[in-house]
């Protein structure tokens, strides 16, 4: 049972990769490919602008991850244990509910030539019309990377907050201070390495995601040429079915790009480790770091502020009437856009909710089965500290490291070969591949942190294993279980590429509808759809925070435990 669940979750990745490798070498009998050939690879290499697309994907993966990780490290070094730390924990937690596409739309509305920033600058600089600047869709992909950083930096910071206690920050920081080190230098030299080891997997997942992102790239990224993943989606959906062979070859290239990003990141880890050791050996204490501490809060503030203000600006646009530049606020507001949007979005909202609740619910059950089986196995063997083995963790988190575009297309080929038609259960099963790893990330540590002595007491009273699970461990882990369920729900809501390819356009969700609007110019409708996309995860997180208080009312001792 310990390996059954991980293998079940990793199987679609393997099937998908096989479904990509064979057509990439010309073998796909359903489309006339009866023999292996290098023609798809040669056709891919002859595509104009391919090198630029590859470099965009490579730079996106590396720069997004580097900026996000560095911003987190500097913020923690400057503000750990302060009021700023506590404020960030409260304000950034809701950002987990914001899908990438909604955050990208919000940022687009802020930085576009007719967006909020230039409206605020219009009067001081005498602007009467939006400046002629290519900001959204710039050739270097800077806006796309900024959108990814705005979403990933708060995510990594929240993950780091959870990992901090295991790095013993108070004792280590005090020791560094007693040796004369400044606050930031002491943290970076003594505490951060331990924190990074704990969050290494989420960091690698961010790198893999950023190197093959599709939805954010469609909203903020360049189009001539686009990042490789975006071009692959276009080839996969082209009416000319012969392009499927070249698309498969491109998927293998995308897999190689992500592998290169991860390899370069691992090399960068070693270089950073050497730099840290040289800094420690140099003897410099960097005691005067007041200015650096102030500056260290800027990246996190910009990232969080971009998402918060972006969502607020989306709402303003969704209720605005005619709104010309450079007016900062709309002269008239109304609910006409919302009325039309809610009428049209009913079907996608229902599909989104059903798929998300199914995939998150099943994912939670599978993860609980896995965690409990692993806990009992370790307890029975040696009484060691319980944690997932590297082999099990590798299988579970494989879908987070392998780029979606590299195997979801192969899954689509497999689905078509089996004669399956798009349906809610099928789409939920595909979403489960991406939902379960995030549920496991959220639930593993709290699940194993429950004091086993409570179950020992229950066992001494004659309760069996299932009774102890449902009457002791699950109630004590209620908050963690509901939070993991909410994270799985939000992960499903944000899935764009699997929904687009496996749903084949027959099962539109609020996410696919919102991203489809990116090519249009109606900001009011875009604002309404982006907010609807955020609404479902926000409600899930609100319920996950509220229900434990209601369920555990009158059980103060359990809450303290």
Over 192-251, what HEC string results? HHHHHHHHHHHHHHHHHHHHCCCHHHHHHCCCCCCCHHHHHHHHHCCCCCCHHHHHHHHH
Give the range among 13-17, 44-48, 169-173, 388-392 with minimum mean pLDDT. Answer: 388-392
The pLDDT confidence band at residue 222, using thresholds 50, 70 and 90, is: very high
Return the number of other C-beta atoms located less than 10 Å from residue 379's C-beta: 12
pLDDT higher than threshold 90 for residue 236: no
Chain segment 20-78, per-residue pLDDT in tens: 999 999 888 877 888 888 989 999 999 999 999 999 999 999 999 999 999 999 999 99
- pTM value? 0.90
Distance CA 46, CA 27 (A): 20
* Predicted pLDDT at 386: 66
pLDDT higher than threshold 80 for residue 267: yes
* Predicted pLDDT at 558: 52
* Predicted pLDDT at 561: 42
What SS3 string covers 296-313? HHHHHHHHHHHHHHHHHH
* Predicted pLDDT at 554: 59
* Predicted pLDDT at 205: 92
Chain segment 390-425, per-residue pLDDT in tens: 888 888 888 988 888 888 888 888 887 788 888 999
C-alpha dihedral sign at 546, 552, 557, 559: negative
The pLDDT confidence band at residue 175, using thresholds 50, 70 and 90, is: confident
| pLDDT: which is higher, 241 or 121 | 121
Q: Average of pLDDT values for 198-225? A: 92
Phi (first) and psi of residue 213, to 5 degrees: -70, 145
Most confident of 157-166, 255-264, 274-283: 255-264
* Predicted pLDDT at 560: 43
Distance CA 369, CA 436 (A): 12
β-bridge partners, 333: 320
Give the range among 4-8, 103-107, 253-257 with minimum mean pLDDT. Answer: 4-8
């Amino acid at each position: 049972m310990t390996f059954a669940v991980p293998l079940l979750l990793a199987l679609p990745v393997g099937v998908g990769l096989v479904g990509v490798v064979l057509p990439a070498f010309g073998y796909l009998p359903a489309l006339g490919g009866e023999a292996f050939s290098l023609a798809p690879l040669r056709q891919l290499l002859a595509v104009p602008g391919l090198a630029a697309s590859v470099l965009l994907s490579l730079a996106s993966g590396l720069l997004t991850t580097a900026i996000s990780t560095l911003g987190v490290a500097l913020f923690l070094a400057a503000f750990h244990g302060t009021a700023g730390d506590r404020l960030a924990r409260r304000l950034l937690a809701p950002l987990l509910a914001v899908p990438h596409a909604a955050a990208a739309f919000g940022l687009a509305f802020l930085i576009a030539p007719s967006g909020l920033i230039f409206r605020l600058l219009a009067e001081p600089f005498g602007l009467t019309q939006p400046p002629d600047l290519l900001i959204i869709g710039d050739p270097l992909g800077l806006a796309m990377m900024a959108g990814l950083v705005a979403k990933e930096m708060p995510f990594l910071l929240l993950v780091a907050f959870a990992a901090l206690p295991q790095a013993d920050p108070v004792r280590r920081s005090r020791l560094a201070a007693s040796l004369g080190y400044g606050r930031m230098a002491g943290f970076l030299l003594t505490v951060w390495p331990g924190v990074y080891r704990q969050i290494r997997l989420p960091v690698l997942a961010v790198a893999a995601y950023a190197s093959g992102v599709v939805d954010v790239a469609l909203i903020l990224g360049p189009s001539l040429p686009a990042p490789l993943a975006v071009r692959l989606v276009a080839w996969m959906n082209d009416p000319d079915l012969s392009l499927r062979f070249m698309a498969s070859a491109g998927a293998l290239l995308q897999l190689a790009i992500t592998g290169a990003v991860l390899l370069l990141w691992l090399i960068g880890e070693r270089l950073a480790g050497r730099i840290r050791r040289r800094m420690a050996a140099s003897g410099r204490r960097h005691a005067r770091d007041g200015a650096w501490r102030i500056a260290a809060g800027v990246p996190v503030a910009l990232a969080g502020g971009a998402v918060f203000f972006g969502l607020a600006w989306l709402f303003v646009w969704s209720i605005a009437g005619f709104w010309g530049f450079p007016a900062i606020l709309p002269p008239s507001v109304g609910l006409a856009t919302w009325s039309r949007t809610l009428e049209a979005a009913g079907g996608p909202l229902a599909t989104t909710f059903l798929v998300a609740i199914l995939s998150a619910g099943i994912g939670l059950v599978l993860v609980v089965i896995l965690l409990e089986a692993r806990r009992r196995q370790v307890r029975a063997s040696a009484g060691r500290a319980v944690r997932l083995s590297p082999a099990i963790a590798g299988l579970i988190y494989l879908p987070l490291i392998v780029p979606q575009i590299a195997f979801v297309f192969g899954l689509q080929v497999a689905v078509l070969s089996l004669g399956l038609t798009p349906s809610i259960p099928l789409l939920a099963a595909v979403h489960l591949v991406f939902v379960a790893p995030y549920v496991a990330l959220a639930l593993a540590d709290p699940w194993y942190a429950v004091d086993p002595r409570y179950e020992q007491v229950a066992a001494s009273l004659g309760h069996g294993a299932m009774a102890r699970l449902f009457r002791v461990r699950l109630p004590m882990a209620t908050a963690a279980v509901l939070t993991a369920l909410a994270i799985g729900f939000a992960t499903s809501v944000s899935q764009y590429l699997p929904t687009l390819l496996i749903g084949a356009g027959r099962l539109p969700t609020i996410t696919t509808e919102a991203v489809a609007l990116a090519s249009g110019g109606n900001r009011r409708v875009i604002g309404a759809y982006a907010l609807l996309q955020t609404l479902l995860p926000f409600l899930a997180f609100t319920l996950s925070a509220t229900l434990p208080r209601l369920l555990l009312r009158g059980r103060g001792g359990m809450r303290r435990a």
